[in-house]
Structure 1
Amino acid sequence: MTHHLPRRGPDMTTTGLDLTAFTGTYTIDPSHSQIGFVARHAMVTKVRGAFNDFTGTVVFDGANPEATAVTVTIQAASVDTRNAQRDEHLRGNDFFAMQEHPEITFVSTGLRITGEDTFDLVGDLTVKGVTNQVTIPFTYQGSATDPFGNQRLGFEGSVAINRKDYGVTWNAALETGGFLVSDKIVLEFEISAIRNA
């Protein structure tokens, strides 16, 4: 059964699903979640990658959804683009400088409900020691109780950022014009969160 987030009326009262049923603290399940990224390579193709090591929590108050608090910590060294040489380059000073900045973090500062099952999550993204505010549109995928009795909530979202805004400036010019790696990077989130006992 699919639940929808409530619509916000002009008087800012909620209608629809009783969100108080979802009030609680949730842990992001890394084995059933993915934090990935897409970059354009050599102007002609896309390279997809993911971070394999991350943790996160969601504190949700159904009576006050806007106060939702989300924190995510990603280990930069866990970057995986299915190419060992490229991954080593990404871990180095040209890109993530992981020895100085081993973690990429996101800390939410607000949430806005935008539709029946959509919301914008606003927060501070820190990459390579540089923090910028981002707004990530998410779609609520539903709630289910898994075979082990865990209540799970599912979300998907994505946002485009400019890597240069985070001091990740390395590039190589192409003989045909343009550059090897796009400045625009799309971050993709597929999240399964388990309600804490």
Structure 2
Amino acid sequence: MIWTFDPAHSAVTFSAQHMMITTVRGSMKIRDFDLSFDPENREGSSVRVSLDAASIDTGQEARDQHLVSDDFLKTNAHPTIDFASTKIVADGDRYAMHGDLTIRGETRPVVLDAEFGGIVPNMQGGERAAFNATTKINREDFGLTWNVALEQGGLLVSKDVEVEIDLAAVSSETEAAAQVEAEKELEAVSA
């Protein structure tokens, strides 16, 4: 079943240690989203998420400008952060979602600890589904190596970044039918 991303009820957030004692939190906007999810065949599902890297928001404009600069995300050359699942292993309502994460042109395999929140009827028709996923990445694996050594020891910015994704998606039989028809038309034109 094809699902449509609901931006009003979804979020991508992250956190990293600052000066080894405080936590900086931020968010990014989802630019694009594809989810194929069948509750009866969860391991056959797939997800692709693209984030707008320049939308980073930590609540402090000067820090955000530094994060989009060449020192960190280099958004002028790499405007998106992308994740595409490669394998999903189900364990009840929890999943190990294996996939490829691309940040600043560097692609690395990651595993997200994901949870299926369930499916309920959508007030506007069709159904609504919810998912949550978390992971920890080493930012240096993606070329994000800028840092400052602290006088007392340690580094200004932690290497580890915690990521949390809350996704809401909606589907309707009308949308699914329209998608199937569009794919059939495309196949007919290609043949």
Query: Is 1:193 matched up with 2:169?
Result: yes
Choose from 143, 154, 175 the match for 1:178.
Answer: 154
Compared CA separation, residues 148 and 64, structure 1 to 2 (3 A): closer
- Note the aligned Cα RMSD (angstroms): 1.3
Aligned to 1:146: 122
Any stretches of 5+ residues in structure 2 without a counterpart?
176-191
Given that 1:81 and 1:87 are in contact with CA atoms closer than 8 Å, whether structure 2 keeps it comes out as yes
Once residues 61 and 145 of structure 1 are traced to their aligned partners in structure 2, the CA distance between those partners, rounded to angstroms, is 15
Could you report, residue by residue, the CA deviation over 1:74-111 in whole angstroms, capped at 9, with x for unpaired residues? 11000000110000000000100000111110111110
Greater alpha carbon shift after TM alignment, 65-74 vs 117-126: 65-74
Choose from 77, 87, 91 the match for 2:64.
Answer: 87
Aligned to 2:101: 125
Identical pairs, percent = 38
Query: Is 1:29 matched up with 2:6?
Result: yes
Any stretches of 5+ residues in structure 1 without a counterpart?
1-23
Aligned to 2:29: 52
Could you report, residue by residue, the CA deviation over 1:27-84 in whole angstroms, capped at 9, with x for unpaired residues? 2212210011110111001111000242211112445432212111111000000110
Could you tell me which amino acid in structure 2 is paired with residue 185 of structure 1?
Answer: V
Aligned length: 173
Aligned to 1:21: none
Q: State the TM-score, normalized to the length of structure 1.
A: 0.84
Given that 2:28 and 2:56 are in contact with CA atoms closer than 8 Å, whether structure 1 keeps it comes out as yes
Given that 1:30 and 1:55 are in contact with CA atoms closer than 8 Å, whether structure 2 keeps it comes out as no
* Structure with the higher helix share, 1 or 2: 2
Q: Counterparts in 2 of 1:8-23, with a 5 A limit? A: none
SS state of the match for residue 147, structure 1? coil
Given that 2:136 and 2:160 are in contact with CA atoms closer than 8 Å, whether structure 1 keeps it comes out as yes
Deviation at 1:144, TM superposition (A): 1.7
Aligned to 2:182: none
Choose from 97, 103, 112 the match for 2:89.
Answer: 112
